[in-house]
Homo-oligomer: A and B are copies of this chain.
């Protein structure tokens, strides 16, 4: 797992998915990013000569397309498509949904952000959010079919999720929650068992720009019960603040593992334990905090799919709301020196 520490031009900053970084801070120079990372070295060793801690480009080239290239394309699309589609609030939005489903949707986004832009339309609600450190991203699609009743024009709503989640505490799992948008006051009206909340929306332009997911070839894909991942994360948490996912193609085996100063932990998943595995040799290391937060929201008995490549980001895909809400989380890897 050695990396070329000499090249600087295409340096991939640690803790950043390059394309997200570029999108939200288009003026940021690569040199500055590389310098930042020298203090966040996984092994805690300062990289005093200012050289970047890692260079993913060579490896990315072998897997087809570099993240940087993908992000440039995404950027280009962003400027044309996104600005033309998403403009103002919807002309009408009126929906009713069970408290449990709505809570689950909101609390999943809350894992990484406090405010989010919800794109509403006739098919349902989608939202894409990236955490302030640009390490994790969520992409949620809540289908209109998840609602008891649903009627919506196309539009964008800026929502304070923290406040929304707090309001939803009043709803039990099976309580009907009615949500409608008042176009005159730009406020959401939420009705739970007779109690009416009026909640001001946020200007979507003031919310962190939604990132594009880059095209990446991630050769390793594991489908397994959510509880297996949660269990491994809980174990890793006892010895380290990082967690690694490693696939051994020859053995059709995936290891979830963590190394502490004196103690190690490892969960080996073989054919008996997982649903399916597209195997390839490779390992990716992640900050445990992000994986831990994501794992808290995983369904226990339903399938979850982890997709990753050697030192590449990992996608975590699953469904909630009886299959009517798809959740895709993406986490950037820690680069090992």
| Residues of A participating in the B interface, judged by any CB pair closer than 8 Å | 163, 166-167, 169-170, 192-200, 231-232, 234-235, 238-239, 262-268, 273
CA distance A163 to B235 in the complex (A): 12
CA distance A239 to B169 in the complex (A): 13
Among B198, B231, B238, B267, the residue within 8 A (CB) of A196 is B267
Please give me the residue from chain B that is nearest to A257 by CB atom: B196
CA distance A238 to B238 in the complex (A): 36
Determine whether the beta carbon of A266 is less than 8 Å from that of B199.
no
Separation in Å of the A161 CB from the closest CB of chain B?
A: 13
Among B195, B239, B262, B266, the residue within 8 A (CB) of A235 is B195
Determine whether the beta carbon of A198 is less than 8 Å from that of B163.
no
| Residue with the highest number of chain B CB atoms closer than 10 Å, among A200, A265, A268 | A265
**Residues from chain B with Cβ under 8 Å of A239 in the complex:** 197
Among B166, B198, B262, B268, the residue within 8 A (CB) of A199 is B262
CA distance A197 to B195 in the complex (A): 47
Determine whether the beta carbon of B263 is less than 8 Å from that of A198.
yes
Please give me the residue from chain B that is nearest to A263 by CB atom: B199
| Residue with the highest number of chain B CB atoms closer than 10 Å, among A167, A231, A263 | A263
Separation in Å of the A184 CB from the closest CB of chain B?
A: 15
CA distance A193 to B231 in the complex (A): 9
Known interface pairs A235-B170, A238-B163; A265-B200 also in contact (CB < 8 Å):
no
CA distance A265 to B197 in the complex (A): 4
Main SS of chain A's interface residues? mixed
Which 3 pairs, one residue from A and one from B, show the smallest C-beta to C-beta distance? A200-B262, A198-B264, A195-B235
Among B167, B200, B262, the residue within 8 A (CB) of A238 is B167
Separation in Å of the A216 CB from the closest CB of chain B?
A: 29
Separation in Å of the A169 CB from the closest CB of chain B?
A: 8
Separation in Å of the A250 CB from the closest CB of chain B?
A: 20
Please give me the residue from chain B that is nearest to A273 by CB atom: B194
**Residues from chain B with Cβ under 8 Å of A234 in the complex:** 170
CA distance A265 to B264 in the complex (A): 50
CA distance A196 to B232 in the complex (A): 10
Determine whether the beta carbon of A195 is less than 8 Å from that of B265.
yes
**Residues from chain B with Cβ under 8 Å of A266 in the complex:** 195-196, 198
Please give me the residue from chain B that is nearest to A193 by CB atom: B231
Separation in Å of the A102 CB from the closest CB of chain B?
A: 16
**Residues from chain B with Cβ under 8 Å of A200 in the complex:** 262-263
**Residues from chain B with Cβ under 8 Å of A273 in the complex:** 194
Please give me the residue from chain B that is nearest to A198 by CB atom: B264
Determine whether the beta carbon of A197 is less than 8 Å from that of B263.
yes
Among B194, B263, B265, the residue within 8 A (CB) of A267 is B194
**Residues from chain B with Cβ under 8 Å of A263 in the complex:** 163, 197-200
**Residues from chain B with Cβ under 8 Å of A199 in the complex:** 262-263
Separation in Å of the A238 CB from the closest CB of chain B?
A: 5
CA distance A167 to B235 in the complex (A): 7
Separation in Å of the A56 CB from the closest CB of chain B?
A: 30
